[in-house]
Amino acid sequence: MSRAETAADADIRSRYRDGGLLGSLIPGVRPAVLVVDLQYGFTEAQYGPGFDLDEVVVATRDLVATARGHSVPVYFTTIAFPVDGDGIARTWLRKMPAMTGLRAGDRSADIDHRLGMRPGDPLVVKHTASAFAHTDLAARLAAAGIDTVLIAGATTSGCVRATVVDACAADLPAFVVRDCVGDREDGPHRAALLDIEAKYGEVISLDAAYMITEGLS
């Protein structure tokens, strides 16, 4: 997946900026890393929703390790539907039947071991695209005094974007780490990153994310 900005992207950014979009967010003093849905159901192609996320997993693993080294908390999310029904996800599963196998207790709902999740790390189980919708994530972050989230995960155009939109609605600055997010196709990935940066959050490099975890931003 190409990470370079195309000429078309640059033209859109220029028009957006002229139109009053693409403002800037400043990270706070109490960041957290939020790893969205890097569960086996997405990181292994044997599962319906899965695809190649190896580069994203490796980059996110490094971000998680750096965050831990600077006492920055790490939160994980997973999609795990009830075993005995679809709960609130009926409409979503009609649109994405590939996800029907992501059930509580199934390996597909487990966080990929390469990320180094530890016992006791906060885990948010969700049934919608956003990590905030119908979960207690906002309350957990507020209780911990978190004022900035660094977002990694999948997919860029789906759960990552939805999470950033809801973070913005919760008045919580979100910084999407470009190397740590991925999608099934390059087009939706690029479009989502551009849309996020234009309206809802910031899109930053992995090095910039390291600086935020180190308090150097």
Q: Please give the positions annotated as active site.
A: 159
Assess contact for 72 and 213: CB atoms under 8 A.
yes
Helix, strand and coil percent figures for the chain, each rounded to 5: 45, 20, 40
What is Dmax (Cα atoms) for the chain? 51
**Locus of tokens 């990320």:** 115
CA distances from 151 to 19, 185, 209 (A): 27, 19, 10
Burial 40-62 (b: 16+ CB within 10 A, else e): bbbbbeebebbeebeebbebbbb
Q: How far is CA 112 from the centre of its chain?
A: 15
Assess contact for 78 and 39: CB atoms under 8 A.
yes
